[in-house]
């Protein structure tokens, strides 16, 4: 039996014992993403849940929460409509088409912040959930930082399942030790480390994947190069995208790209993370869903992979939060509410997050369930300065992000820093 199956069986056992055992109402089993089946009792209802968690580490996290859901609501069939593609690049397009056609899934994954408020709330596509927060007592356990990012006009619009950290530098500890390289904490140390690795024969010390992973790298370099206040100011209208500080950060980004693999555009984030544990690269900048992936493929923390805040971002937690919404006119509204209750529950979050590589949104997690990396993330989340992610929906709405993405695509091809900066200035002017 694989570790993942063992973990799932353990969670199922816990759930069944918490529910006082099998009451004969039927059992829900999860054979894999999209393969939830219910036997025994007649199926009375279903809930369709939409996400992009199909890949390594991600599907396993969702599966663990589906098991908890199945234990609590055996009469509801869980229809897993996940669409593959990291960061929702494909899923969000499919979702947009469905919403336009007035065929919403009952509940879908959306990022806390501008993605949620600027897209689904602005288009009146989701229902406020204040009543559920009151019923479930969630205002007492969800972080105060998060509530404004999922609220508009006094209404709360989603149920956060986690907090992910975006600014993580994943390392190969063996390679760093063999080359006498300390984990870099500044941009200059990082570049010096990668120069040394290249001189020692490693072609591409920094592993990168498809375009969204380069936007992810960009946001961490902007933060690391400019600092916490100047980075935040870029998004709240008080910063200056044409400043010398942005030019310097873009030059740093250009330099960081010079250490990356030439086949990046053909690689998923998992492929890129794999290059680090395989020893073909020493570094990868990726959110902590990479930890879920490393664990799923049997890698050991601090031996096969190490971690640190990305260079220049020590003491800063650049975050994002996955949350689930209730569709307006949801085809199965009651079942969707049942799903949201599990997504917001301690049991659901403590099943999902240790596998997904995130910390629970709730502040009452059972710490004994979390590994060394996630415990360090919990401590950092409660003590660091907090900045938001661009790539994962916190700081910019979809239209601003999409203009930045277009400018980034051009930059990856022409590497013209001045043209890139001019396009970023124009993107802010058009959207802020």
Residue ranges that bind ligand GAL, judged by CB under 6 A: 52-53, 58, 86-88, 111, 164, 269, 287, 289, 320, 322, 392
Tokens for 353?
A: 């997050």
For ligand GAL, give the closer residue by CB, 169 or 181: 169
Give the length of the chain: 432
Residue pair 129/157 in contact (Cβ under 8 Å)? The answer is yes
* Shortest distance, position 195 Cβ to ligand GAL, whole Å: 30
Torsion region of 34: left, alpha or beta (phi above 0 gives left; psi -120 to 50 gives alpha) = left
- CB closest to ligand GAL, residue no: 86
Q: What are phi and psi of 307, to 5 degrees?
A: -150, 155
Residue 347's nearest CA partner among 14, 4, 3 is: 14
For ligand GAL, give the closer residue by CB, 53 or 259: 53
Contacts of 236 (CB under 8 A, 6+ apart): none
Q: What are phi and psi of 243, to 5 degrees?
A: -70, 165
* Shortest distance, position 268 Cβ to ligand GAL, whole Å: 9
For ligand GAL, give the closer residue by CB, 110 or 224: 110
* Shortest distance, position 290 Cβ to ligand GAL, whole Å: 9
Radius of gyration (C-alpha) of the chain in whole angstroms: 21
Distances (CA, A) of 381 to 12, 206, 259, 289, 390: 29, 26, 30, 16, 18
* Shortest distance, position 210 Cβ to ligand GAL, whole Å: 11
For ligand GAL, give the closer residue by CB, 212 or 241: 212
Residue 225's nearest CA partner among 195, 183, 186 is: 186
For ligand GAL, give the closer residue by CB, 332 or 401: 401
* Shortest distance, position 60 Cβ to ligand GAL, whole Å: 12
* Shortest distance, position 9 Cβ to ligand GAL, whole Å: 24
For ligand GAL, give the closer residue by CB, 82 or 277: 82
């Amino acid at each position: 039996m694989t570790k993942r199956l063992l973990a799932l069986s353990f969670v199922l056992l816990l759930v069944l014992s918490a529910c006082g055992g099998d009451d004969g109402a039927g059992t829900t089993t999860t054979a894999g993403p999209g393969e939830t089946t219910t036997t025994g009792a007649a199926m009375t209802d279903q809930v369709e849940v939409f996400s992009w968690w199909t890949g390594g580490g991600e599907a396993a996290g969702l599966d663990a929460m589906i098991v908890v859901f199945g234990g609590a609501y055996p009469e509801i069939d869980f229809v897993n409509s996940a669409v593959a593609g990291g960061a929702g690049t494909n899923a969000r397009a499919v979702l947009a088409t469905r919403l336009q056609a007035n065929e919403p899934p009952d509940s879908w994954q959306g990022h806390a912040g501008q993605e949620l408020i600027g897209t689904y709330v602005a288009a009146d596509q989701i229902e406020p959930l204040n009543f559920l927060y009151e019923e479930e007592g969630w205002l007492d356990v969800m972080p105060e930082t998060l509530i404004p990012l999922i609220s508009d006009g006094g209404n709360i619009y989603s149920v956060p399942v986690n907090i992910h950290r975006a600014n993580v530098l994943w390392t190969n500890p063996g390679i760093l030790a063999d080359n006498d390289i300390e984990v870099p904490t500044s941009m200059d140390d990082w570049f010096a480390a990668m120069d040394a690795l290249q001189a020692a024969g490693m072609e591409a010390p920094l592993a990168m994947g498809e375009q969204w992973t380069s936007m992810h790298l960009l946001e961490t370099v902007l933060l690391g190069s400019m600092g916490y206040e100047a980075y935040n100011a870029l998004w709240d209208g008080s910063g200056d995208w044409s400043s010398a500080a942005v030019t310097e950060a873009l030059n740093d980004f250009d330099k960081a790209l010079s250490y990356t693999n030439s086949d990046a555009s053909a690689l998923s984030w998992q492929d890129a993370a794999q290059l680090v544990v395989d020893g073909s690269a020493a570094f990868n900048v990726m959110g902590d869903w990479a930890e879920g992936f490393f664990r799923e493929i049997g890698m050991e923390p601090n031996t096969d992979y190490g971690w640190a805040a990305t260079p220049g971002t020590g003491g800063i937690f650049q975050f994002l939060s996955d949350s689930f919404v209730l569709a307006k006119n949801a085809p199965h509204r009651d079942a969707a509410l049942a799903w949201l209750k599990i997504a917001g529950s301690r049991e659901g979050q403590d099943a999902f997050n240790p596998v997904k590589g995130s910390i629970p949104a709730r502040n009452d997690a059972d710490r004994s369930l979390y590994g060394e990396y996630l415990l360090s993330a919990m401590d950092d989340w409660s003590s660091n300065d907090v900045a938001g992610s661009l790539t994962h929906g916190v700081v910019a709405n979809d239209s601003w992000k999409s203009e930045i993405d277009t400018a980034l695509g051009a930059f990856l091809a022409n590497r013209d820093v001045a043209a890139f900066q001019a396009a970023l200035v124009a993107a802010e002017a058009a959207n802020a």
